Structure formats: structure tokens, C-alpha cells
Structure 1
Amino acid sequence: MTEDTRSWIRSFPTLGGAVPDLGPLPDSPITKFLEWLEEAVAAGVPEPHAAALSTVDSTGVPDARFLILKDVTDEGFWFSGDVRSPKGVQLGANPVAALTLYWREQGRQVRVRGVVREGGRVLSARDFRERSVTARAVAAASRQSESLLDPQEYTAAVESAVERIESDPTYVSDTWRAWCLAPDSVEFWQADPGRRHLRWVYHCDQDGWSHHELWP
């Protein structure tokens, strides 16, 4: 790390704006999350449903990637993908994960941790069919994260998958899954320009949800 690079990076502006009045916390973190998501949409935050999913492999090495949150229910936070993908393999070996969402324009962050469960064949099939034809073809044809030695092979595989899906709109890839992260903790973080950030965490146990404030 050079001094010039360090100074340059530290010069970037961060955490502008005032801290809003957040009001009382609801009993459920799902309710609070959906409130914040609605406010992010109303504020014009780009892709407010984009989240970083963090997993660990069979040796405990962490991995992360951004994806699109598909649904939020009382059960938890839903996302999808292929069981052959790195996240699918990692969840198969160690079905725990964390989701992180950051809404820069509002200085807000949400951190979710918990156990990941498959949603079953019906939900997985519905999720697959809700994708565009091209997205379904890519999902069906791609050998995700394997070395691609011939781009033409990939193009041909996708084109073939498009033809199959257009001829049979009910087709669903056998390896497609919908997953639900059932949270045991959800943390809400509100930035403060003076760094007196506001933080609240919900924890779930056999008696349900409880919450308390954290030191910044």
C-alpha cells in the first residue's frame, strides 16, 4: 500500500446526509426489513434487492457474491441458483450463510445470518419459470464457474437450450433450486456522518424474536 493510494482512497466522501427519525422497532425483523426496502424503493435506490450472499466451503474458507433477493416471507429471505454452482456446492456441504444489503443513498445496511433450507421442487420450478427465456437457457446450459475454453461452445449450448424451452415452456432444470435463509439474527445499521452510527440487532430463540441496541 503506497501513501498516495492510501490518501487517495481516504479522500473519497462517505456517509453524507442526516440520520432520519426511525421510530419504534416492530416485534419482527421481517417487518422492519420490508419497511426499509419500501423506503429504499421510494428513494430511488438502484437495485435495492441486490444482496451479497456469503457462504463457506467444506474447509471453512469463506466466499461471497452478489445476487438478487427473490422474496421475503415469515420463513426468511429467498434466493435461487444452481446446485452445481459454487454457492450450491458450499450450501450442500455447510447450509449456513449470511446476506448483506447496503443502500448507499440512505446510509443503511442490513446483515442477516442463519440456516439455509431448500424450498422444495414446486417453489424451485416456479422460480425457474419466472425467469426470462434467455435467463432460463443460460441457467440450464451453463456449467457455472468451470473453465470456458471455447466461447462458441457456450453460445451453441445456450441457443440449444433456448430452442428446448421455447418448444416446451414447462421445462425446468433438474439442478435449479430456490433457497431460504431462515434468520437467527438480523442487524440494522443506520449511518451517521459523525460516525455515531445507530445499530439494532434481532435474535431468535425458542421464545421468538427479541431486539436491543448495539454500541456503534
Structure 2
Amino acid sequence: MTRTARSRSAEPAGSPPLREWLRQLPLLGGQAPPFDPATAPGEPLELLVEWLHEAVAAGVPEPHALTLATVDAAGRPDARVLVLKDVADSALWIASGAGSPKGRQLATVPVAALVFYWPQQGRQVRVRGRVRVADAEHAARDFLQRPVHGRAESLLERQSRPLDESHLSDEFADVEDLVHLEPAVVASAWTVWAVDASRVEFWQSSPDGQHLRLRYSRAEDGGYDRQLLRP
């Protein structure tokens, strides 16, 4: 294990105290498009797709990127950024290796939270719900759409392991050759998860601080209750 010395200060010489500097940075803002919660659709994922298309049209970089939050068996949280794979069957679909930290956590505690943030539009969307595993056919289809390098790495099943001299060995080259020779080979551990949209909140900023917050909550009949929240 490599150890590093603890820095005495995180602030560049001559700069204002970090606390004061952070207070001077712009607040959540952006150019918010028109949004009337009264005319929002009854299904939250329909509105999510609308907002996603608007983010693309506005030139938001990587609008399909999201933060996935999970917890382990001890209740310790984890979060990382990945990409949205699909929106279908009242769920948002994501993918990774089952042996990755996120995969192990989702297997142990099958609940998750997702956050989209589009700063250019002053918008974010929060999703929370239970997680289920897609069938093998769905996972194989997603895996085969990945770049060759990504498929080779997934076949080795070494995500998040310490990086050492083994990455320079012939092991990866052999697997990459296999991917080229057998383009239909699929990593058995590759998994697609569906995060159920049991609670979805749409947040849009306002210059006067009267931010709009519209929350959808799954009702007992399978539909959704909608409620405006205070900023």
C-alpha cells in the first residue's frame, strides 16, 4: 500500500480561506426552461424522458450521466457516476459487473438512489427505489454493445482491484484477442439492474430562490401521487 503525507493546507498560497472562496462561487442556477408542474404528465418517467430530451437539445454534456448511490451490509453509503442504459417498465436501467463494489452492494441491499444534474438548465432529478436484476438476454445484449476494450476488461472480472504490474502482462492482450475472434462472447458476471421509480423528484432552480420541486410517490394502486414541496 502506498502512503502519502497529509497536506497541511488545501489552499493555494495567497488565496482567500476556502470557506470564503466557496461562498463566492455561483449558486445553483442555469437557464431553466419553462416548467409548469400543473401540466406535468401523470407518470414521472415520462417527464424524465422529456427533461432528458430538453437537456440534449440544450447541449448539456453527457446528459445521460447519473450518480448511483448504494449502501453495503453495514449501512455505509457509496456513490459513483455511470450512465443510464434505458427507461422502461417503470424503472431506470443501469449496468456493471456483479463482482464490482456496486454489484456486491446491490446484491446485498437491493435498493438504490439515482441523481441526474443538468447545471446548464438548473435542473436535477432524484430517483429512489428497489432494484431487480434483468434477465441474461438483456445483460448479454447490453454487454455486446460495449467497446472491445471494455468487454475484455469485464471478461477478466478485475474491476476496482489494485492496479499493479499485471496490467502489463499478456493476460489482457489474450482476452482482447478473444473478443476480436469471438465477438459474441459475453462475461457471465455482466449484470443489468432496473431501479424501480417508486419515488421521483424533479427540481428546477429559480433566480429568486423559489425553486420548483415536484415529487411523485408510488401509490398502492400502482399509480403515482404528486406533491409540490417547499424549496
| TM-score bracket for the superposition, by shorter chain length | over 0.9
Partners of 1:144 and 1:199 in 2: how far apart?
37
Matched positions, count? 215
Does the CA contact (< 8 Å) of 2:68 and 2:81 recur in 1?
yes
After TM superposition, give the deviation of residue 9 of structure 1 in Å: 1.2
Residue of structure 2 equivalent to 1:12? 25
SS in 1 for 2:197: strand
Partners of 2:211 and 2:202 in 1: how far apart?
10
**Residue 135 of structure 1 pairs with residue 150 of structure 2:** yes
Cα shift readout 1:157-204 (whole Å, capped 9, x = no counterpart): 322221111111110001000111011100000011222111000001
Does the CA contact (< 8 Å) of 2:30 and 2:119 recur in 1?
no
Does the CA contact (< 8 Å) of 1:76 and 1:180 recur in 2?
yes
Following TM superposition, the consecutive aligned residue runs of length 4 or more in structure 1 with deviations greater than 6 angstroms are none
Residue of structure 2 equivalent to 1:194? 208
Identify the range of structure 1 (12-21 vs 93-102) with the bigger mean alpha-carbon deviation: 12-21
Identify the range of structure 1 (159-168 vs 17-26) with the bigger mean alpha-carbon deviation: 17-26
Cα shift readout 1:76-101 (whole Å, capped 9, x = no counterpart): 10010001000000001000000000
Residue of structure 2 equivalent to 1:95? 110
Partners of 1:175 and 1:183 in 2: how far apart?
25
Alignment CA distance shift 1:191-1:148 (3 Å): same
Cα shift readout 1:125-181 (whole Å, capped 9, x = no counterpart): 00000111111112222411122232x435633222211111111100010001110
Residue of structure 1 equivalent to 2:122? 107
Of Structure 1 and Structure 2, the greater strand share is in 1
Alignment of 1:135-214 (within 5 A): 135-150=150-165, 152-153=166-167, 156-207=170-221, 208-214=223-229
SS in 2 for 1:40: helix
Cα shift readout 1:45-77 (whole Å, capped 9, x = no counterpart): 000000000000011000000001011113310
What is the CA RMSD across the aligned residues, in angstroms? 1.7
SS in 2 for 1:202: strand
Partners of 2:122 and 2:163 in 1: how far apart?
39
Partners of 2:51 and 2:100 in 1: how far apart?
30
Alignment CA distance shift 1:134-1:149 (3 Å): closer
TM-score by length of 2: 0.88
Residue of structure 1 equivalent to 2:3? none
SS in 2 for 1:15: coil
Alignment CA distance shift 1:7-1:155 (3 Å): farther
After TM superposition, give the deviation of residue 205 of structure 1 in Å: 2.3
Larger-gyration structure (1/2): 2
TM-score by length of 1: 0.94
SS in 1 for 2:17: helix
Q: Identity over the aligned pairs, expressed in percent?
A: 44
Partners of 1:165 and 1:34 in 2: how far apart?
34
The letter for the 1-side match of 2:76 is V
Partners of 2:67 and 2:30 in 1: how far apart?
24
